[in-house]
Chain A
Amino acid sequence: MASSDYLIDVVIEGKPGARDPEGEVIQRDLIWKNGFESVKSVRVAKLLKIVIQAKSAKEAKMIVQRLCDELRIFNPAAHSVHVALGKSQD
């Protein structure tokens, strides 16, 4: 099977329930103060767009998940990480 390039999105964010001071400030001091009161919550996260050569989308995701875990690209005590297939890069 031929290899091709896959775009994998890695989203690193605070664990559910953890505080997010940056998101709180954006919500309170930017969004709410300027009239968008219908906004219920803002959470700031980090998005890594990784292009990787692999045999399948499944394999691409697996490798990225592994590198996240092994290289401590996030701190499992503080963050959660979500690995998903991004928009195709053909």
Chain B
Amino acid sequence: MFLSLTRDEKALVQRQLGRKVTPLEWSIIDAEWSEHCSYKSSKSLLKELPTKGARVLLGPGFDAGVLDVGDGYVVTIHVESHNHPSAIDPYGGAATGVGGVLRDILSIGSRPIALLDPLRFGDVTKSGHSRWLMKNVIRGIAEYGNCVGIPTVGGEIEFDSSFESNCLVDVACVGLGQADTLVYSQNGRPGDQLMLVGGSTGRDGIRGATFASRNLTGNEKDRAAVQVPDPFTEKLIIEATLEAKEAGALRAMKDLGGGGLACAVPEAVSSGNCGADIDLSLVHVRESDLIAEEVMASESQERMLYVVDPKRTRHVEQILQRYGLPYSTIGHVIKQKVIKVRKSEKLLANLPVDLVVQAPLLQRRSLKPKSRRVQLDPPRSPTNMGEIVLQLLASPSIASKSWVYGQYDHEVGVRTILKPGAADASVLRLPNGKFLALTCDGNSKHCSISPGLGAEGSLAEACRNLACVGALPIGMVDHLQFGDPGDHEVFWSFQQTVRGLSRYCRAIDLPCVGGKVSFYNEDSDTKIAIKPSPVVVVVGLIDNKAPKLFGFGLKEVGDALIIVGSTAPELGGSEYYEQIHGFSGGKVPKVDLRNERKRIENIVKIYREPGIKSVHDCSKGGLIVTLAEMCIEGGLGASVEAEQIPAKTRQIDELLFSESHGRFILEVNRKMVKKIMKSLEDQGLPVACIGQVDDGSHLRLKYGGKTLVDLSVPEMKQRWAEAIPRLMGDIV
């Protein structure tokens, strides 16, 4: 039997049990002690993240984080990835990834209401393989989300050759529930029945969790770990589970994900300080010749484990029968804190719960890479600014993603108010009349040069996105994706990332309510780790029953354009360096942590003021790309004087393309300009009027008396809109 346990771990198990360990016991421990389930390399560092806050009802360590949004309602949030399965079967891998995160949200007793998908692929301009991955990953996400009737309201994509064979497919899900009817896993008690609900158990996806905890290889054995998505069964599970929960019959529940029953059973009972006694011969299986280890470790999709009040089992069975869902009662909760697994009469495993769920933590070494100290000469500033702007607009990371989100149903459920593409964050209506804003961000280019600053920056961008729709950030989850944690340099970047996130969270009082770590992401051929890829998903609340909501498109000719924030010479990791100069290196943008909270709060406040027509944050591509996006979305032109931009540089490429944080462009009614500028100045924020909205349908930028950029809006729009369809072969 293949075990991914280390020699020390095996010895520890032997010592603790003081007897011969059965094959089934080994496979249970192997699954639960995998990096994927136990966080053995990351746990001690993750403790540095702040997790408390006035709205936090449940923080990290559970199926989902829970945030109080008032009037008895809660929002739940979780993020997962399905990187390795998607790398070999992009359609099925991505689709089952969506299914998995939906069940996490369901496990806590909340209804999934929205999905977001942060994705990373190789260089699609050069690689047919990456285009194949991208096309099928997006199709998988779309078909699963659309079939279960949950809108995919946002996402984010990066392209970098380090993701060529190890694409990153993250899925975040947001749920809605009521504080007093959530289902907490500690509520199970002795005598409760354990019911396995949903799809039958088969050989698919066996050892997926340990598979995710190793590097990708072309091994044929790995190729058996493919799961077939079944969104229609998932939809039935969602409805049946919520109905059983409403009936008060579920004491606890757990979705079956990585590690299958081997992880779900101990986790469902451990927090209630109980044990479990299950009989594998009762599990409904697809193939009759499955051995015990296979039944226990199978990661067949669309399954849930219910912990049912024994007086209510009949009721639950009736609900499941009505939905036509297969189920089997496989055992019960016991007082003794052990996991007993039988097959008919034969006892195959008898393990202390604490041993199973408390994997020994690993102390990983971190080492700052030497290469980072090398200073490269930055490329020289070019002269053809207009053409460069067009090239940036057509670069896949900046170009319109409507080819992607156009495949997603982002409106099903009729909660979506601001839709993808129209604003920096999507906005959903909540039943209490408030509004929820959602966004996700990551920047592997910045992180590869400076993981700490890049991590801070990803959070800063996400929070700016929320501020741009008038929402205050209330909680975040992070997904931290790295190479092999045994590599000291990889682990250093992980450590720096966690610290960066932590610094930002503390600076603006943003709690981390959950997250996920995915290690062993590296190129299968070159064995080079992916660029450090923390991705953050942040939710914001618009605590106002009747807000005006608007996107970033320019609205009216004659309005003033105001910039908030200062531009610094920070081109390191920028799209401009990468796309135009093929250069990676330089100074990565640094967040002004001291003023960040004030800045976000003020933009949220300003958003509500009369006379504010649009707000857009400056990020990828820099200031000029921000302006171009506002022109394209609004179908109007603008003229801008670059001299007016508050900046710590006078070099034109730095002014236009620096991705400095903390900057916003506001479109403001002429009559209100003075008042708005004064209120921002009074807060000590750099602010300047840099131009106005034009009817000429051109974006014009002057610097030193010369017109450096003069681009027609329709031309910019065409380059920006057609880039991805062209790459994917839809426009020839």
Contacts and interface: CB of A to CB of B under 8 A. Distances in A.
A29 B92 CA distance: 24
Given A19-B300, A29-B324, A77 B89 contact: yes
A35 interface: no
26 contacts: A14-B228, A15-B224, A15-B226, A17-B224, A17-B286, A18-B202, A18-B228, A19-B200, A19-B202, A19-B227, A19-B228, A19-B286, A19-B300, A20-B228, A21-B228, A21-B232, A21-B233, A72-B132, A75-B89, A77-B88, A77-B89, A77-B223, A78-B91, A78-B92, A78-B226, A78-B228
A56 B287 CA distance: 40
Contacts of B89: 75, 77-78
Given A19-B202, A19-B301, A76 B223 contact: yes
Interface in A29-84: 29, 72, 75-78
B489 to A, nearest CB: 31
Contacts of B287: 17
Interface string B258-302: 000000000000000000000000000011000000000000110
Contacts of A75: 89, 91
Contacts of B202: 17-19
* Size bracket, chain B contacts: 20 to 34
Residue with the greatest number of chain B CB neighbours at <10 A, chosen from A25, A28, A75: A75
Contact of B230 (A19, A28, A29, A72): A19
B203 interface: yes
Q: Which 9 A-B pairs have the closest CB atoms?
A: A21-B230, A17-B203, A19-B228, A77-B88, A77-B89, A78-B226, A78-B89, A77-B223, A77-B226
Contacts of B509: none
Interface of A: 14-15, 17-21, 25, 28-29, 72, 75-78
Contacts, number: 46
B553 interface: no
A20 B89 CA distance: 16
Interface in B162-191: none
B572 interface: no
B601 interface: no
Contacts of A21: 228-230, 232-233
B200 to A, nearest CB: 8
A29 B229 CA distance: 19
Nearest to B220: A76
Contacts of A14: 228
Contact of A19 (B88, B132, B204, B223): B204
B199 interface: yes
A78 B200 CA distance: 18
B199 A28 contact: no
A2 B483 CA distance: 57
A25 B233 CA distance: 10
B717 to A, nearest CB: 35
A52 to B, nearest CB: 26
Nearest to B229: A21
Nearest to B233: A21
A80 B401 CA distance: 34
B322 to A, nearest CB: 14
Given A19-B204, A77-B89, A78-B92, 5 more contacts: A19-B202, A19-B300, A19-B301, A21-B232, A78-B226
B324 A19 contact: no
Interface string B221-256: 001101111101100000000000000000000000
A66 B199 CA distance: 35
Contacts of A28: 324
Contacts of A19: 199-200, 202, 204, 227-228, 230, 286, 300-301
Contacts of A72: 132
Nearest to A19: B228
B287 to A, nearest CB: 6
A15 B223 CA distance: 10
